[in-house]
Amino acid sequence: MGTAVGGERSVPRYVQIADEIVQQIRAGVIKPGDMVPSESELVDRYGVSGGTIRKAMVEVRASGLVETRHGKGSIVKDRPPVRHRSSDRFRRSLRQGGKAAYLAESAQSGATAKVSVLYIGPMEAPEDAAERLGVPAGTQVLARRRLYFRNGTPVETATSYLPWDVVKDIPELFAENPGGGGIYARLEDHGHEFEEFVETLQGRPASKAESSELALSPGSPVIHLIREARTTEGRVVEVCDTLMAADQFVFEYRIPAVD
């Protein structure tokens, strides 16, 4: 690798090529749904080896702007713009207005949202969810698993675990559509007033199954979020285990500077 004037390292050629391809995608020169030029085309265009182009494409894929399809090459993702998740998304006023958090958030960003319910019914609580709910692992809970879409693209999966003694007398929580304001509104309707929501986030690569479910390239970054819904009585009445396509979310929080 060479050095530039003044002893600074020069930018490797594969990085320069990757940056140029990324800029072409962001500028719309290579549009969503278009194939990125093939390795041989890029070799001819840039006058470099196939190895250099392959290293460049690793960088391009890391940008999250393309996905690789076996036997076809790399295609520019047709994914909607990033939307914001903020610390006010669970405001009581939204629930009282009949808006569940995801639908309210999508509407604010001008997106078309859809929720597909994959499962509703009894399940043995996984160890982590059970610990957060304060029940023994394997205890029967109500599970609600959903797949969320934004402008037709799957962006998030979520499974809620709720204590059986809390939900057994709330029939709406067993329905595909629990009504305006979502499950939190129904819980509050039945006396479970919320004090706070606590979220834990971790970034990691998607597994093969997760990549398939969210229409991501293998190993794409995802955000694993676990939320506890805590009542004014100090009880956790829901644990929500969520997986999100990392390129679809920006998290914005308000952090008080005083007590």
pLDDT single digits (tens) 36-72? 999 999 999 999 999 999 999 988 887 778 877 767 7
Q: How far apart are CA 197 and CA 236, in angstroms?
A: 9
Amino acid sitting at position 160: S
Minimum mean pLDDT among 85-89, 101-105, 248-252: which range? 101-105
- Cβ atoms of 112 and 148 closer than 8 Å: no
What per-residue string of b and e applies to 73-102 under the rule 16 or more CB within 10 Å gives b?
A: ebbbbebbeebebeeebbeeebbeeebbbb
Minimum mean pLDDT among 28-42, 57-71, 138-152, 229-243: which range? 57-71
Distance of CA 203 to the CA centre of its chain: 10
Please tell me which residue, 113 or 76, carries the higher pLDDT value: 76
The answer, yes or no, to whether residue 142 has pLDDT greater than 90, is yes
Q: How much is the pLDDT for 93?
A: 63
Among the listed residues 84, 88, 91, the one whose alpha carbon sits nearest the alpha carbon of residue 107 = 84
Inter-axis angle of helices 50-62 and 13-26, nearest 10: 50
Confidence of residue 3 (pLDDT cuts 50, 70, 90): very low
DSSP-derived secondary structure for 244-258: EEGGGEEEE----S-
Residues constituting the chain: 259
Q: How much is the pLDDT for 4?
A: 47
Confidence of residue 215 (pLDDT cuts 50, 70, 90): confident
The average pLDDT across 230-234 equals: 96
Q: pLDDT tens for residues 154-199?
A: 889 999 999 999 999 999 999 999 998 889 999 999 999 999 999 9
Q: How much is the pLDDT for 2?
A: 45
HSE-up of residue 82 (Cα within 13 Å, Cβ side):
12
CATH class entry, domain 13-76: mainly alpha
Structure-token match 């023994």, residue found: 136
Please tell me which residue, 219 or 4, carries the higher pLDDT value: 219
Q: How far apart are CA 162 and CA 31, in angstroms?
A: 44
The answer for residues whose C-beta is within 8 angstroms of residue 254's C-beta and 6 or more apart is 86, 87, 88
Please tell me which residue, 1 or 111, carries the higher pLDDT value: 111
Tokens of 177: 């559509």
Q: How much is the pLDDT for 66?
A: 85
Q: Which whole-number Å values give the CA distances from 124 to 143, 146, 197, 226, 249, in the listed order?
A: 9, 18, 23, 18, 30
Percent of the chain with pLDDT over 70: 83
Q: pLDDT tens for residues 92-110?
A: 666 665 556 666 666 656 6
Please, which residues bridge with residue 73 across strands?
69
Q: What torsion, rounded to 10 degrees, do the Cα atoms 183, 206, 154, 242 define?
A: 10
Q: How much is the pLDDT for 61?
A: 84
Q: Name the CATH superfamily for 83-252.
A: Chorismate lyase-like (3.40.1410.10)
Percent of the chain with pLDDT over 90: 56
Q: How much is the pLDDT for 238?
A: 98
- Domain locations in the chain? 13-76, 83-252
